[in-house]
Amino acid sequence: MKALMNACSQRLVQWLLLFGLCVLVGYGQQQYSRLQQIETALSQQLPARVRETFSDLYSNDDPEPLIVSRINEDLARSGSQERVQACVIELIALNSPDNQAWWPFGQQLAISWQWDERQYRSLLSVGCQTQMPQLLGTGLLLSLGLMGLICLLPGPISAARQQWMSRLLQEGSSLVQGYAVTSEVDRLNPAQQQSLWTLVDSEVCTARQALVSFSPLLLSDLSEDQLDWLQVGLRQSNGNFETALQVARSENRLVFDIVGGGLTVHGVPLSLPRTPYFYYLWYASLRLQTEGAENGWTINPSVQRPDHQAAEQLIEWMEQADGHRKAINDLKQNGLRAKTLDQNRNKIKEELVSLLGETLAAPFLFETERDPKTGRSRYRLALPASKIEIRETSESVKR
């Protein structure tokens, strides 16, 4: 409500300024027009009237004052156009040597004319009444019209919009196309604009594709994290905007498809190397075992005692999905070793961070703490069990 009142106040001030300007310009135009009419009329009438009056007073030693007096009597009695225009005209000097400066609002008018070979410069006093009703009415209509035109004209272009238009022009768009495509840019918040710039700068899409496909309406409900996932979705889908939006709006879920060897992170299909994939799957299966106090935690095996029992599930999955024979044989012969677990956790982290970035990958990586009984480190997936799904067959297995 306050913003609306401020906008109305600004519009009112703008209109008052326009109205005052229109009245002032109208007054100047009115005075100038009258002076032009009077000058045109008297330039034709004055020389003839002076000659006529002079012929009656040619015997007078100083006829000029009498000529001025008679012409002023004629002007006072005249029913000419000048009187109709509510102007009072008086001849001050038949031939004035003064070089009067011309000013449209002034009270004096100089008319130059020639008689025989002599040049005359007559000086007249002009006083015209202001036609106030007409002036105010014209000013009102003109100011309202200008105000309406200002409201229809586009406002100034913001710095952000100028940057986008510059990029569009570089890509080959015309100025008109750039203006149309950037019409919604100012509705984007800084995080949304930065997200779009990142897409364009990383050459995931062109500026035109970014602005057309991701309008403020689509982006308005996306958080900063979702905007980051949007970029991941575009990269992984080769610029498919619909798929990228689905990724951005997906949950933080981790889905394994054992038979197909697939992995989906937050709706994004990712490809891990075969052996790290199965170790990642193994940690996920432990996280799903919510019964008991462990709740997904597993302690690294002792250096002297590898864990053969824990290796059985990994061997089964690897053989089922045609895993690397060397890795399978190592597990059968040596069991699950701390060194192997550390190597594969590091490999999983490297792969996810390279694909998603550290911030987005963090919820899908590992938590670690010191086990109070053994003093060794123990690990588990940071993602809650409710967000993990393992598909062992065509049917989904959820816990």
Tokens of 179: 């203006």
Distance CA(184)–CA(178), nearest Å, equals 11
Q: Stretch 173-191: mean pLDDT, rounded?
A: 81
The percentage of the chain sitting over the pLDDT mark of 90, rounded to a whole number, equals 15
Residues facing 113 on adjacent strands: 120
Given a cut of 80, whether residue 104 has pLDDT beyond it is: no
The string of pLDDT tens digits covering residues 356-391 is 999 999 999 999 998 888 888 889 999 999 999 998
Is 351 or 17 the better-scoring residue by pLDDT? 351
What confidence score (pLDDT) does residue 182 get?
83
Per mean pLDDT, which range of 72-76, 261-265, 288-292, 312-316 is the poorest? 288-292
Tokens of 280: 């990642």
Given a cut of 80, whether residue 131 has pLDDT beyond it is: no
With cut-offs at 50, 70 and 90, classify the pLDDT of residue 136: confident
The string of pLDDT tens digits covering residues 299-315 is 888 877 888 888 888 88
Q: Stretch 76-100: mean pLDDT, rounded?
A: 62
Per mean pLDDT, which range of 40-44, 52-56, 317-321, 374-378 is the poorest? 52-56
What confidence score (pLDDT) does residue 78 get?
62
What confidence score (pLDDT) does residue 399 get?
38
With cut-offs at 50, 70 and 90, classify the pLDDT of residue 280: very high
Distance CA(89)–CA(124), nearest Å, equals 7
Given a cut of 50, whether residue 397 has pLDDT beyond it is: no
User: Which of 24-28, 287-291, 337-341 reaches the highest mean pLDDT?
Assistant: 337-341
User: Which of 65-69, 172-176, 232-236, 278-282 reaches the highest mean pLDDT?
Assistant: 278-282
b/e code 242-254 from CB counts within 10 Å (16+ = b): ebbbbbbebeeeb
Nearest CA to 315 out of 283, 342, 262, 275 is that of 275
Whether pTM > 0.75 for this model: the answer is no
User: Which of 51-65, 87-101, 299-313 reaches the highest mean pLDDT?
Assistant: 299-313
Given a cut of 50, whether residue 395 has pLDDT beyond it is: no
Is 175 or 104 the better-scoring residue by pLDDT? 175
Is 206 or 387 the better-scoring residue by pLDDT? 387
b/e code 34-43 from CB counts within 10 Å (16+ = b): bbeebeeebe
Distance CA(177)–CA(14), nearest Å, equals 31
Q: Stretch 39-50: mean pLDDT, rounded?
A: 74
What confidence score (pLDDT) does residue 254 get?
94
The string of pLDDT tens digits covering residues 216-272 is 656 767 788 888 888 888 888 877 788 888 898 899 999 998 877 889 999 999 888
Sketch the domain layout of the chain as residue ranges.
Answer: 17-152, 160-248, 254-398
Given a cut of 80, whether residue 129 has pLDDT beyond it is: no
Given a cut of 50, whether residue 283 has pLDDT beyond it is: yes
What confidence score (pLDDT) does residue 389 get?
92
Given a cut of 90, whether residue 42 has pLDDT beyond it is: no
What confidence score (pLDDT) does residue 255 get?
94
Q: Stretch 130-137: mean pLDDT, rounded?
A: 77
Distance CA(232)–CA(226), nearest Å, equals 10
The percentage of the chain sitting over the pLDDT mark of 70, rounded to a whole number, equals 82
